Amino acid sequence: MVFVGLIFVVIGLIHFYLWKRLVKDPLPGKRARRIGAGIVIALAVLAPATLIGVRSGAVPWLAWPGYLWIALMFYLLVTLAVLEIPRLALVLAWRARRRTGKETATATAESDPGEPAAGEARTESSPVLTAEKPPPPDGIDRRLVLARGAAIFAGLTAAGVTGYGVRTALGGPRIDRVQIPLAKLPRAMDGTRLAVVSDIHLGPLTGMNHARRIVDVINSVQADIVCVVGDLVDGSVAELGRFAAPLADIQSRQGAYFVTGNHEYYSGFQEWVDEVARLDVRPLRNERLELGGLDLAGVNDLGGAEEGDPADFAKALGDRDPARPVVLMAHQPLAARDAAPFGVDLQVSGHTHGGQMAPFNLLVKLEQPVVSGLGRVDGVPVYVTNGAGFWGPPVRVGAPPQVSVIELRAQ
């Protein structure tokens, strides 16, 4: 409840700032300000209503307008925040210039008090009366021009970035290829290809074509093993089962495998585990398989503990032959810290979306040790794919949707 209250406060403060910079500052007329304030209040209500209503399924029709506004709001905030620095510099420069002008005018008046009127003798003690000139009105005009210019620039920038992000998010996933050496990999398995996909996020904005596009890309790489590392859905099997149907067409030489992500636990994880298995994608539930000379293990998501379905690293990795290489499927990169004591050779993960909407990736880095690509966590090589879908706003900026192809190389 405290977290929900904090969200409302943050959203309220953001909209107050947007009202100040986009309505109050650039619109001098009272009528225009009242209309603008009403629009901002409506949008301030729309944002939390979307986050709550769409997730609960109560008002799915809010998904498109609500999530698009959240994305636009984010980029308006970012752009305006960046503009605060040059704006402040200009205001300070104008104030300094005006102050210098006043000091010059005062000094001039004191050095040249003016000629006495006819018949009046000038004396040293005679007071000198000077009319104080009002400050030029150009300071107010400059501020108005600055406010309007900043509002227009922020609006165009945010709309352009959001539009680009929508096009990227709704397009097909790109293929990211990387070679990773495994010291224990048998020579006979050199060149083994893993197709790693995560965060498909089937939901009210995706439809069946979303999964079909992803499956077509997976099949195009002719992988030996397909790893689906969580966050497949945002809804129940009854709502989204037909959208997941294309997963049954995944092609690979040694099978397709699945581990739960945190969103499965918001959507009825057990029914999705059963549904995925029915589609011939094998769930790995804290377990390990031998695929030739390679072990493939999978653990439940770290968030499963709250639903009585925790990750069990000892069960998945504890009794294995340490001479064999093991690849661990775990939804969150953070899981590598628990996997490290078991000598994992490679962990494949998702969860981060690569940040999804830059510069949000800088905040994701505070929670997860690897945001995108290959990194190391407590000595464990961890590869994080950007994910093939999106959560919340149908927008991706700086983190295009991916299907990652990892080619394992023997050393």
Q: Across the chain, what does the average pLDDT equal?
A: 91
Backbone angles phi, psi at 116, to 5 degrees: -70, 155
240, pLDDT greater than 80 = yes
Ranges of CATH 3.60.21.10 domains, the chain: 173-410
* Chain centroid, CA 239 distance in Å: 26
Tell me the mean pLDDT in the region 369-383.
97
Tokens of 382: 């961890």
Tell me the mean pLDDT in the region 9-35.
95
2, pLDDT greater than 90 = no
Identify the residue with better confidence: 257 or 3: 257
> How far is it, in rounded angstroms, from Cα 345 to Cα 408?
11
Greatest CA separation for the chain: 117
Residue/partner pairs of 185-188 with CB below 8 Å, 24 or more apart: 185/293, 185/294, 185/325, 185/408, 185/409, 185/410, 185/411, 186/292, 186/293, 186/294, 186/410, 187/410, 188/292, 188/293
409, pLDDT greater than 80 = yes
> How far is it, in rounded angstroms, from Cα 32 to Cα 149?
17
Tell me the mean pLDDT in the region 77-83.
97
For residues 240 and 270, is the Cβ–Cβ distance under 8 A? no
For residues 165 and 71, is the Cβ–Cβ distance under 8 A? yes
In whole angstroms, how large is the CA radius of gyration of the chain? 30
Tell me the mean pLDDT in the region 369-395.
97
> How far is it, in rounded angstroms, from Cα 56 to Cα 317?
37
Q: What is the per-residue pLDDT for 130?
A: 46
Percent of the chain residues past pLDDT 90, beyond the cut:
78
User: pLDDT per residue over 24-74, tens digit each?
Assistant: 999 988 999 999 999 999 999 999 999 887 766 656 677 899 999 999 999
146, pLDDT greater than 50 = yes
What's the predicted TM-score (pTM) here? 0.88
| 401 to 72, 168, 359: CA distances (angstroms) | 20, 8, 16
Percent of the chain residues past pLDDT 70, beyond the cut:
90
93, pLDDT greater than 60 = yes
> How far is it, in rounded angstroms, from Cα 213 to Cα 5?
39
Tell me the mean pLDDT in the region 204-213.
89
Q: What is the per-residue pLDDT for 125?
A: 46
Q: What is the per-residue pLDDT for 4?
A: 73
Q: Which helix (H) or strand (E) holds 380?
A: strand 380-384
pLDDT range class, residue 139, cuts 50, 70, 90: very low
User: pLDDT per residue over 107-130, tens digit each?
Assistant: 776 666 555 555 555 545 444 444
DSSP string for 310-370: ---HHHHHTTS-TTS-EEEE-SSGGGHHHHGGGT-SEEEE-SSGGGSBTTTHHHHTTT-S-
Q: What is the per-residue pLDDT for 1?
A: 64
Identify the residue with better confidence: 24 or 5: 24
Identify the residue with better confidence: 123 or 192: 192
Q: Which of 88, 91, 45, 89 is nearest to 69 (CA)?
A: 45
Q: What is the per-residue pLDDT for 134?
A: 52
Q: Domain 173-410 carries which CATH code?
A: 3.60.21.10
